[in-house]
Every structure is written in structure tokens, then in C-alpha cells.
Amino acid sequence: MGCAGPGQDGALIDMTSELEQQMAFTDAETAYLGSQQLGRLATIQPDGSPQVKPVGFRVNPGLGTIDVTGFNLTSSQKFRNVRRNGQAALVVDDIASTDPWRVRFLEVRGTAEALEDGVDGGPLIRIRPSRILSFGVEEPPGEPHQTRLHARDLAS
Amino acid sequence: MGCAGPGQDGALIDMTSELEQQMAFTDAETAYLGSQQLGRLATIQPDGSPQVKPVGFRVNPGLGTIDVTGFNLTSSQKFRNVRRNGQAALVVDDIASTDPWRVRFLEVRGTAEALEDGVDGGPLIRIRPSRILSFGVEEPPGEPHQTRLHARDLAS
């Protein structure tokens, strides 16, 4: 009558939560971020409304940040938005399965800097995570109803 | 010595611009939106910061809107954000080529409604476009430097 598996996975995740609080990203999150080529960056327009664009990105393991790159970045509206407003959210996602329909994602919200000279001397938008939300990233593929939203706040 | 193609495409696009102002989406935009399974919806949190999530969506040709759907939509933060704030931006994109690197996208910004009972009786977030931006959607695949950003405002 035992029901092994999901509960044990859940226990493992809980056991690592204290460590996760100190590391910006878990190993599963870092691997997932590395597996995707595009993220979508949301920033705030001067009038307070949102805009969202596909961007390139990479994890900066030393700083625990997400560094966003792009063609002609410094002349883009999103770069000006970040410079003025200092806020951004980035989501990375994919369709893990179409039957059953199963979308995974990792969203990073936080404060953001618009840097003219970042890593390798190129411009970038650097996001310092204040909240990380994920769905289907920590768990191995399983039944959709066993997947749950992970959300945590990080000390600034 | 002739250089046919891109210039003629540009002329064709300009010729249809008046019609595009009255239709919410061009034929190329409608086709592109129909070719992608996920969009990413940016909304505004209560504190004014952005959030962004992958969502399902469909063009509503009768209304000229984008109707966003999702699992447990009415209990989601994005639904509450739209109900309170009335603003949203959705981007649809794909990687058309990796060499040369070529990302296409279509972004729709506008006013948004959080509807408990939308099409087919299900809840949805309905975006009425006020500005549409696209890159690589109107043009046939070509040289990256010949691709340009299309942006237009729509009468509200």
C-alpha cells in the first residue's frame, strides 16, 4: 500500500531549501537556465505599462545574477527602462510535453542594472534575483498534478 | 547588377500600411501568431514591478484582440494584476535561424481585461492592442541586416 516516489522527492527538496536560500540558483535551476537559448525580459515603460522582449542571457555564477545580452542593447527601450526604473523580470520556459500538456518555467524577478561595460566589455542588463518562481524544473518529469509551483524570496 | 527583392518587399509593406491601421493584425502577423504555441505575458504587480509568465493564447479575429488562456487562470497573480491594473504586453517569438543568429518576434501591448466568462464560457485575459511591434515577421527570411523593426500604434 506504500506510495513511494513523489513524497521522497518532495522531502529532498525541502532538505535543500536552506542551502538554496544562500545560493542564488539551485543546481536544477542552473541546469535548466543553461538548457534554453532565449529568455523573455519584462521591463517597465516610462508610463508604467509593461513591455516584453526575447533576449539572450547567461547565469553569472560568481555574482548570482542573470546577465542579459542583446544586439544593439544600449540603444534599446528595455535598456533605458532598466536604467530609469531598476526593475525587471525574466522568464525561461519550454514545452516539456504536449500530451499531457506540460509547460515548465523559471521566472526571476529582481532589481536590474543597465551596464554599458559588463562582462567582456560588452553592455548588459544585470538582474539580481529577489524572487525566483519555478514550475517543473526541480522535479523529474512526472504526472502534471504532482508538479507544484516553487517560489522563494532571496535576501537583497 | 540589379538587386531585386528586399526593396520591393519594403515597398509592398508600405503600400498596405493604411489597411493595417484598420485591421488589428496583418495576414503575416495572424499567420505567425497561429504558428506558435506559447506567448509570454507581462503584467504589473501591485508594487509596480513587472512579472512575466508563459501562456496559451489565440487571436480573436472578430474583436481584433488576443485572448490569453491558462490553467487555473482566475486564481493566478497575472489575472489579478490585469483586473486591478488593466495593462499587459504579450510577446511571441522563435529562433528562425541559429547561423546567422536570427530571432523573430511579435509583441502586442495594450489594455487588458480579466474576464471570468470569456469565449466558450472559460476565463481569459483579453488584450486589445494599442501598439504592435514585430521583427522578422513581415519579411521573408533574408539577411539579418535587411530586417527592420515594424512598430505601429492602433486607434483605441
Three-state DSSP at A96 gives strand
Residue B131: closest C-alpha in chain A: A51
How distant is the alpha carbon of residue A111 from its chain centre? Answer: 13
- Tell me the whole-structure pTM to 2 decimals: 0.84
> CA–CA separation, B27 vs B33, rounded Å?
10
Residue A79 lies in a domain: yes
Supply φ then ψ for residue A118, to 5 degrees: -100, -145
CB contact under 8 A, A48 and B87: yes
SS3 content of chain A, % helix, strand, coil (to 5): 30, 40, 30
Report the CATH number that the domain containing residue B10 is assigned in CATH: 2.30.110.10
Domain that holds residue A20: 6-153
pLDDT exceeds 90 at position B17: no
Tens digits of residue pLDDT in A13-64: 444 444 444 568 999 999 999 999 999 999 999 999 999 999 999 999 889 9
Whether omega for the bond prior to residue A100 falls within 30 degrees of 0, making it cis, is: yes
DSSP B31: H
Task: Report which of B129, B25, B147, B38 is spatially closest to residue A54, judged by C-alpha positions.
Answer: B38
Instruction: Grade residue B4 by pLDDT with cuts at 50, 70 and 90.
Output: very low
Q: Is residue A137 very low, low, confident or very high in pLDDT (cuts 50, 70, 90)? A: very high
The reported pLDDT for the residue numbered A104 is 94
- A64 occurs within a structural domain: yes
Give the model's pLDDT for residue A141. 59
If you average pLDDT over every residue of chain A, what do you get?
85
Domain membership of residue A1 (yes or no) is no
Report the length, in residues, of chain B: 156
Q: How confident is the model at residue B19 (pLDDT cuts 50, 70, 90)?
A: very low
**Contact B54/A at CB under 8 A:** yes
- Indicate whether B13 belongs to any domain: yes
Residue at B1 is within a domain: no
Could you tell me which residue, A119 or B47, shows the higher pLDDT?
A: B47
User: Is there a contact between B87 and A51 if contact means CB atoms under 8 Å apart?
Assistant: no
**Chain B: residue nearest A149 by CA?**
B76
In tens, the pLDDT along A65-119 reads: 999 998 889 999 999 999 999 999 999 999 999 998 899 999 999 999 999 987 7
Categorize the per-residue pLDDT at A147 as very low, low, confident or very high, splitting at 50, 70 and 90: confident
Q: Does any CB of chain B come closer than 8 Å to the CB of residue A90?
A: yes
* Tens-digit pLDDT profile for residues B55-114: 999 999 889 999 999 888 999 999 999 999 999 999 999 999 999 889 999 999 999 999
Handedness of CA A39, A44, A45, A49 (dihedral sign): positive
Partner-chain contact B95 A37, CB within 8 Å: yes
Q: Where are the alpha helices (DSSP H) in chain A?
A: 6-15, 17-22, 27-35, 77-85
- State what percent of residues in chain B have pLDDT above 90: 65
Domain-located, residue A124: yes
Q: How many domains does chain B divide into?
A: 1
Contacts of B76 in chain A (CB under 8 A): none
Determine the pLDDT at residue A8.
41
Q: For residue A27, is it within any domain?
A: yes
Q: Is B47 helix (H, G, I), strand (E, B) or coil?
A: coil
A 92-111 residues inside an 8 A Cβ radius of B: 93, 95, 103, 105, 107, 109
Query: What number of H helices and E strands is found in chain A?
Result: 4, 7
Q: Do A105 and B43 lie within an 8 Å CB cutoff?
A: no
Rounded to whole angstroms, the Cα distance separating B145 from B7 reads 13
For residues A70, A71, A77 and A83, what is the CA-based torsion angle, rounded to 10 degrees? 50
The answer as to whether A66 is a domain residue is yes
pLDDT band at A133; cut points 50, 70, 90: very high
